[in-house]
Amino acid sequence: MGEVVAATKETFRDLVSDGLVLVDVWGSDCRPCLALMPEVERLAGERPELDVVKLEAPTARRLCMELRVMGLPAFLLFRDGEEVSRLNGADITPSALEAWLDESAAAQA
């Protein structure tokens, strides 16, 4: 894939239904979210086995409630439509995100 796809509440389930999918739940007023955006885009370009989807929390509040996203930024890893791992908190660093992704993806292999 190599690119980041923006999800809406209508397209979300289809986008996470197949394969390994990283979901970046973010908000435009979330500084840590914006700081991690270049890292998320880099990961999308470097990992062809991984689809990357961005979900803007303020435009999908009900979906975020269903997913039990309590704070931003939040990263959810899906395998064939099921959430398998989660990382969230304002103190996420690019290296922490990559380490979590490596560990979580390896557990799914």
Is there a catalytic annotation at residue 33? yes
Report how far residue 95's alpha carbon sits from residue 29's, in angstroms, rounded to the nearest whole number.
22
Is there a catalytic annotation at residue 30? yes
Q: Which one from 33, 36, 87, 97 is the annotated catalytic residue?
A: 33
By C-alpha distance, which of 96, 99, 100 is closest to 85? Answer: 100
Per-residue pLDDT in tens (0 to 9) along the chain, 109 residues: 478 999 999 999 999 999 999 999 999 999 999 999 999 999 999 999 999 999 999 999 999 999 999 999 999 999 999 999 999 999 999 999 999 999 998 888 7
Report how far residue 28's alpha carbon sits from residue 58's, in angstroms, rounded to the nearest whole number.
8
Q: Which one from 15, 16, 21, 30 is the annotated catalytic residue?
A: 30
pTM (two decimals): 0.95
- Which CATH number describes the domain made up of 4-108? 3.40.30.10
